[in-house]
A = this chain, B = another copy of it.
Amino acid sequence: MTERNIHVQPASGLAVEDQDIEVVERKGIGHPDSICDGIAETVSRALAQTYIDRFGTVLHYNTDETQLVAGTAAPAYGGGEVLEPIYILVVGRATKKFDGERIPAESIALRAARDYLDEQFPHLDLGSDVIVDVQFGEGSGDLQTVFGEEATVPMANDTSYGVGHAPLTETEQIVRNTEQKLTGEYAESNPVVGQDVKVMGKREGDHIDVTVAVAMVDEHVPDLETYKSAVSDVQAFVTDLAEEYTDRDVTVHVNTADDYDAESIYLTTTGTSAEQGDDGSVGRGNRANGLITPNRPMSMEATSGKNPVNHIGKIYNLLSTAIAQSVANEVDGIRQVQMRLLSQIGSPIDEPHVADATVVTEDGVAVGDVEADIQATIDDELADVTDITRQVIEGNLSTF
């Protein structure tokens, strides 16, 4: 076993759950920034899998720069139309030649991006509503083998850091679940709800305001009355949902920018604002844990699309979150744990320069009581660092 540089310390301030004001945001999978994140990460997985299938190892690539240029649309009651297609430029680097064999990196990326859109966006017509373009530069060489018998732990090639925390506060849980359930099960049985759902939670003391913006799909909205009732259905659903996560007082606001008198409402043809005026790009929205949490330390790293074998920023952000979750789950008496991993250029990534846990314990528990358990948990997770890579490639870890 390595001697890892693991620090555990008490937080100097209050747990976020106990602070006066808390703000949490999540951009849904249909938000233009998230569309880019989703494509970037899907393309990344498709490339990684292709390299593994063909060469038994992941080669150099990086696809974290998708840009979306909004289209133009004319939504209308009963069904409008997209006037000018959304343009999506998938940018990246990939190894196109290895061991004398050529790899169709761009064709793979094109297919992966189109398939992703096809699966995730039932109201988007791939034949007419979106142009997917690809520009890949040349990457080169192989990465270390992180799977199988010859597996080794890669070296950090950059000074970078990752942050993560656990458990989620009530507001965080409400915000995340609101988006995931609305665009998931709810949209499935209520196709009027599009994929572009933006949720902002704001807690002041014991009152939580949940503000939801939902792109309604015009095909399922014959008139204003139907729209209004779709809005109030969402309102009711989110209100119920919020109560599962908190006993605090919750107010839910849906599509607050609507003006019914002017019939200015949030109607779309495709279920995303990318159809009209809202551009997007990778890494501008949710952090690796799926949330934007200004009360917490955050990393600027655009995680989606990065190579999960050697991109230390991606790995450490995902790993910090995973570690924090393990600590919160496995160690008793933890009210909040905030992890930070700092890389050391040239050292194996399972030996970070610093692994730093800042802990708020429950009443009656001293940090000293749980320090050893926390250290052990962190140590285990670090030892298993390449599991993060595996999970990313298999699509089990979301990056946005």
Binds B, one of A80-88, A172-180, A234-242, A324-332: A80-88
Is A163's CB within 8 Å of the partner chain B? Answer: yes
Q: Cα distance A369–B111 when bound, in Å?
A: 64
Given contacts A137-B72, A297-B295, contact A104 B81 (CB under 8 A): yes
Is A265's CB within 8 Å of the partner chain B? Answer: no
Is A12's CB within 8 Å of the partner chain B? Answer: yes
Given contacts A74-B102, A83-B102, A107-B83, contact A89 B92 (CB under 8 A): no
Min CB–CB distance A60 → chain B (angstroms): 10
Asked whether, in the complex, the Cβ of B356 is within 8 Å of the Cβ of A21, the reply is: yes
Q: Cα distance A296–B300 when bound, in Å?
A: 12
Contact mask for chain A residues 129-156; partner B; CB cutoff 8 A; 1 contact, 0 none: 1011111011100000000000000000
Asked whether, in the complex, the Cβ of B102 is within 8 Å of the Cβ of A85, the reply is: no
Asked whether, in the complex, the Cβ of B69 is within 8 Å of the Cβ of A83, the reply is: no
Binds B, one of A184-192, A277-285, A384-392: A277-285
| B-side contacts of A296, CB under 8 Å | 297
| B-side contacts of A85, CB under 8 Å | 106-107, 110, 134
A265-288 contacts to B, CB under 8 A, are 277, 279-285, 287
Is A345's CB within 8 Å of the partner chain B? Answer: yes
Is A394's CB within 8 Å of the partner chain B? Answer: no
| B-side contacts of A14, CB under 8 Å | 12
| B-side contacts of A165, CB under 8 Å | none
Min CB–CB distance A8 → chain B (angstroms): 12
Is A157's CB within 8 Å of the partner chain B? Answer: yes
**Interface size band for A:** 35 or more
Is A93's CB within 8 Å of the partner chain B? Answer: yes
Is A161's CB within 8 Å of the partner chain B? Answer: yes
Is A91's CB within 8 Å of the partner chain B? Answer: yes
Asked whether, in the complex, the Cβ of B135 is within 8 Å of the Cβ of A107, the reply is: no
| B-side contacts of A157, CB under 8 Å | 257
| B-side contacts of A294, CB under 8 Å | 161, 163, 297-299, 340
Asked whether, in the complex, the Cβ of B132 is within 8 Å of the Cβ of A108, the reply is: no
Given contacts A102-B74, A110-B131, contact A200 B84 (CB under 8 A): no
List the 7 shortest-distance A-B pairs measured between CB atoms, nearest first: A13-B13, A12-B13, A111-B128, A67-B67, A65-B279, A83-B104, A107-B128
Q: Which chain A residues have a beta carbon within 8 Å of chain B's beta carbons?
A: 9, 11-14, 19-21, 23, 64-65, 67, 69-70, 72, 74, 81-85, 87, 89, 91-93, 96, 102-108, 110-111, 114-115, 125, 127-129, 131-135, 137-139, 157, 159, 161, 163, 200, 202, 204, 211, 256-257, 277, 279-285, 287, 292, 294-300, 302, 340, 342, 345, 354, 356
Q: Beyond the given A64-B279, A83-B103, A137-B277, could you list 11 further A-B residue pairs with CB under 8 A, ordered by the A residue number?
A: A65-B69, A67-B89, A81-B104, A81-B107, A114-B127, A131-B132, A159-B211, A281-B281, A284-B284, A287-B300, A296-B297
Q: List 26 A-B contacts (CB under 8 A).
A: A12-B12, A12-B13, A21-B354, A65-B279, A65-B281, A67-B91, A69-B137, A70-B93, A72-B137, A74-B102, A83-B96, A83-B105, A83-B107, A85-B107, A85-B134, A87-B135, A91-B279, A131-B132, A159-B202, A163-B294, A256-B345, A281-B281, A281-B282, A285-B300, A294-B299, A295-B297
